[in-house]
A and B are shown apart, each in its own frame.
Chain A
Amino acid sequence: MSRQASGLQAWAVQRLTAIYLGGFFIYLIVAVLLDPPASVELWRARFGGVASVAWLLFVLALCWHAWIGIRDVVLDYIHPPVWRLSALVAFGGGLVACALWGFKIILLAAGG
Chain B
Amino acid sequence: MSTTAHAPTASEYIVHHLTHLSTKSQSSIIDLSVVNIDTLFWSLSMGSLVCYLTWRAARQATAGVPGRFQAGVEMLAEMVNDQAKAIIHSAESRQFVAPLAMTVFLWITFMNSLDFLPVDLPGKILALTGLERFIPSHRIVPTADLNGTIGMSSGVLLLMLYYNVKIKSLGGFIHELFCAPFGAKIWLFPFNLLLNLIEFAAKTVSLGMRLFGNMYAGELLFMLIALLGATATWWGFGMQLIAGSAWAIFHILIVLLQAFIFMMLTLVYVGQAHEGH
> Are A and B subunits of one complex?
no
- Which B residues contact A (CB, under 8 angstroms)? none
